[in-house]
Amino acid sequence: MTLQVEVAHRLGAAFSLDARFAGSGGLTALFGRSGSGKTTLIDVIAGLIRPDRGRVLLDGRPLVDTERRIFVPAHRRRVGYVFQEGRLFPHFTVRQNLLYGRWFAPRQDRYVKLGDVVDLLGIGHLLDRRPHGLSGGEKQRVAIGRALLASPRLLLMDEPLAALDEARKAEILPYLERLRDETKVPIVYVSHSIAEVTRLATSMVLMSEGRVVATGSVADIMGRLDLHPVTGRFEAGSVLETRVVGHDRAFGLTVLRAASGDLRVPYADLPIGSRVRARVRARDVIVAVRRPEGLSALNVLPGRLSEIGAHDGPIADLRLDLGGDVLLARVTRRTIHDLDLVPGKEVYAVIKSVAFDRHSLGQAVSSESRRP
């Protein structure tokens, strides 16, 4: 799958969208704050908005091309859409909701089976109920299943977790990971949550005020100090690609191996060998210039200071190069002065194990296991 988007659209006097990006398989996250134009952009891809100018190509075929006067209506695009609020049909049962789109898909293009979707999303016990009795999380799973059963060529998801509480989010995230890994549907996923994007995204598109600011892998974008004003200062942090190498059951810990060394994190119920993406917030990282001893923190990784971010206030972000991994650390300007931190200096990064919670660990898909 290749998706090519280059569109310009004006909404009212205040907001204009002018965005271009390309996606190729996996889960592409559109990340940005509320009002950055993410939803407008996927509405254009879905055919719910006709852009003023530009084009959207899916596998080379135009869905819209204003220059060539092409506009494929939404119902002929076979682009699935999971809305923030579910939008289940209240007059149908769950089963009827699920099968709605399947009915319109051409027979030879139906590659999704009801049984598979029901198993994938764990909604077998809901089939004969009506949407109004379902919990938010159940509704959202049914909405995902409904979009899938239309056998879409591309699946758009607009903050499918935003309306849910933490427990419901935790309930759905594993299903989204399975969706990404076990189906071959490419996904464009809109979110303003770093935790979700870190956990789910194969690649990400960073948006701000209707423009695409950066595209690339999650680790690359999160590791860039200059993007913090856009990605959000408070949540700033880097992403490490790791693999589970062992469990320390006696102390309830799991050992993750990153390129730069081992990380001990609270126990995660994952088999040895699974790939895990770990997000480390900059404010959870301590920097030392000598290997510290007698410390409660279990993770000490050696590295080199590669960049000091803008620091006009009391705080600055440091970019540490840990032999292949990038780690961000947030320190005071006073620290930079006292420890005489300059780019190139050998340092140690200290991370408390308890800084990792289940929201900062996600099972990452290995790119080589993905089928085209």
Partner 1 sequence: MFDLSPDEAMAIRLSLRVAFWAVAASLPFGVLVAFILARGRFWGKPVLDGLVHLPLILPPVVTGYLLLVLFGRQGPLGRFLDETFGIVFAFRWTGAALACAIMGFPLMVRAIRLSIETVDRRLEHAAGTLGANPAWVFATVTLPLILPGIVVGIILSFARSMGEFGATITFVSNIPGQTRTLPSAIYTLTQVPGGDAGAFRLTAISVAVSMAALVLSEVVSRLIARRLGTP
Residues 6+ apart with CB under 8 A from 156: 42, 45, 46, 79, 80, 81, 82, 187, 188, 190
Structural contact between residues 172 and 163, judged by C-beta atoms closer than 8 angstroms: no
CB 271 to partner 1: min, Å: 37
CB 111 to partner 1: min, Å: 14
Q: What is the C-alpha to C-alpha distance for residues 243 and 265, in angstroms, rounded to an integer?
A: 12
Q: Which is nearer to partner 1, 74 or 339 (CB)?
A: 74
Residues 6+ apart with CB under 8 A from 20: 5, 6, 7, 54, 212
Strand partners, 158: 190
CB 74 to partner 1: min, Å: 4
| Residues lying near partner 1 in the complex (CB under 8 A) | 46-48, 73-81, 83, 85, 87, 89-91, 100-101, 103-105, 130-133, 146-147, 150
Q: Which is nearer to partner 1, 147 or 280 (CB)?
A: 147
Largest CA distance in the chain: 70
CB 84 to partner 1: min, Å: 10
Phi, psi of 205 (to 5 degrees): -120, 120
Structural contact between residues 220 and 205, judged by C-beta atoms closer than 8 angstroms: no
Phi, psi of 199 (to 5 degrees): -75, -35
Q: Which is nearer to partner 1, 79 or 212 (CB)?
A: 79
Q: Which is nearer to partner 1, 32 or 131 (CB)?
A: 131
Strand partners, 353: none
Q: Which is nearer to partner 1, 118 or 225 (CB)?
A: 118
Q: Which is nearer to partner 1, 23 or 80 (CB)?
A: 80
CB 1 to partner 1: min, Å: 18
CB 97 to partner 1: min, Å: 10
Strand partners, 253: 248, 266
Q: Which is nearer to partner 1, 47 or 362 (CB)?
A: 47
CB 105 to partner 1: min, Å: 6
Q: Measuring CA to CA, which residue among 100, 92, 90, 163 is closest to residue 132?
A: 90
SS3 at position 277: strand
